[in-house]
Amino acid sequence: MSNGTFVVALAVGAALLAVWTHARFPGLAPERLGKTMLHTAGALLVLQLLPVALDSGLNVYVAVLGIAVPALTYAFLAMLWMLKLAQTVLGLQR
């Protein structure tokens, strides 16, 4: 498996984990705009720190499964929460 294929598979897996988490635990989603923005900013910060954490010399499996997957899942989950809030504000929620 090439590096590009692995990265795509990792991102798709993290997105699927985020969708499952959102569907399984709908009460985790913040109700207010401020909290949603805070989660989105936190997810972006974690993603900005991801290259530093991956280059720290940890075992590759620990770095990918312990740092990269949770960071990407949190970022996708924050994106889902932002989309849900936008639908609510625009009156598009079913």
Distance CA(13)–CA(74), nearest Å, equals 12
**Whole-Å CA distances, 12 to 9, 16, 20, 33, 46:** 5, 6, 12, 27, 18
pTM: 0.85
Answer yes or no: are the C-beta atoms of 37 and 86 closer than 8 Å. Answer: no
Residues (pLDDT < 50) of the chain are none
- Other CB atoms within 10 Å distance of the CB of residue 43: 21
Q: Which domain holds residue 42?
A: 3-90
**SS3 state of residue 27:** helix
Q: What is the pLDDT of residues 58-82, one digit of tens each?
A: 777 887 888 889 999 999 999 999 9
- Number of domains forming the structure of the chain: 1
